[in-house]
Homo-oligomer: A and B are copies of this chain.
Amino acid sequence: MLIVIQCKDQVGLVAAISRVVAEEGLNIVSLREHVDPAESRFFIRVEVDRDVPEELLEARLRPLLPPDAVVSVNPHTEKKIIVLVTKEYHCLSDILVRHHFKTLGASVQHVIGNYPILGDICRRFEVPFTHISHEGSEKELFEQKTLDVLLQHQPDHIVLAKFMRILSPAFVSAFPGRIINIHHSFLPAFVGANPYRQAFERGVKLIGATAHFVTDQLDEGPIIAQQIIPVTHSFTVADMIKAGKEIETAVLARALRLVFEDRVLMYKNKTVVFE
């Protein structure tokens, strides 16, 4: 089973937590710990070799931890997700294939597209798809309809798999730390629209992609994973977009794996990733 905790740092936290684990006769398979000295913040992720009742373990741990502790015992059951898309297929298809073969570490409950085009690929994998147009309707209405689907399914995470609309702060704040976006640049370079065009104009020799949690600041949320690929003078904008799709798919897949395995802890504007 898995124990994930973050709280204010103090002396003796590892000793206290590991003593409880040992007294339950559990053997530690993997333990990752981090202290952020600037924030005086403690993070730990412990995998043990057997299961004991979750409530029991949590009840034993709580009194030993600071009152602000966020304790998560055995969260690593399969996650439920909703995916938001626009027109590009590459990230969504990758998610659907893994979902289909049960290697995603999460179950795709529903896909919402602001265009109808990706409904077909969803149907091929028997995943429900709803087209909610953003055209002609107020953004508020679009978000309300999306919320209706979300509230119906209560997903653990919302994945923006190349969803090209900006969500309102009100929407975002309803799902703190639960919306994951893939941005097609190595942030903070090239925030906003057309990052490949910006990269082309600047003549960079690397392009990248960034998976991050969404906050109400555009492209400013805590970064989960980033990667780059080299480009040369011979790349047109179209070549960069094409090459970029490969890395967008890979980075989002990696970020989702990390989140679904409860390896990502968020605090303020940063993540701790216990890989």
**Partner-B contacts on A (CB < 8 A):** 9-16, 18-19, 21-23, 25-37, 89-90, 93-94, 97, 100-101, 121, 124-125, 186-190, 202-206, 208, 222-228, 232-234, 236, 246, 250, 253, 269-273, 275
Residues of B within 8 A of A206 (CB): 186, 208, 226-228
Which residues of chain B have C-beta atoms less than 8 A from A202's C-beta?
187-188, 223, 269
User: How near does chain B come to A107, taking the closest CB pair, in angstroms?
Assistant: 17
Question: Which chain B residues lie closer than 8 Å to A226 at the CB level?
Answer: 204-206
Which residue in B25, B34, B271 is a CB contact (below 8 Å) of A30? B34
Is A14 a contact of B31 with CB atoms below 8 Å?
A: yes
Q: A97-B97, A186-B186, A206-B228 are in contact. List 9 more A-B contacts (CB 8 A).
A: A14-B18, A15-B21, A15-B23, A30-B234, A34-B233, A100-B121, A205-B223, A206-B227, A233-B273
Question: Which residues from chain B contact A32 at a C-beta distance below 8 Å?
Answer: 32-33
Which residues does chain B contribute within 8 Å of A97, judged by CB atoms? 89-90, 93-94, 97
Among A25, A28, A31, A275: residue with most chain B CB under 10 A = A28
Q: List the B side residues contacting A124 at CB < 8 Å.
A: 124-125
Point out the residues of chain B lying under 8 angstroms from A204, CB to CB.
186-188, 223, 226
- Chain B residues with CB under 8 Å of A203's CB are 222-223, 269-271
Residue of B whose beta carbon sits closest to that of A225: B205
CA distance in complex: A253, B121 (Å): 20
In Å, the complex CA distance between A36 and B239 comes to 14
How many whole Å from A249's CB to the nearest CB in chain B?
9
Residues from chain B with Cβ under 8 Å of A234 in the complex: 30, 34
Given contacts A188-B202, A202-B188, A271-B233, contact A14 B11 (CB under 8 A): no
Of all chain B residues, which has the CB nearest A26?
Answer: B11
Once A188-B202, A203-B270, A273-B233 are accepted as A-B contacts, the answer to whether A30 and B35 lie under 8 Å apart by CB is: yes
Chain B residues positioned under 8 Å from A275 (CB to CB): 232
CB contacts (< 8 Å) of A12 on chain B: these are 18, 22
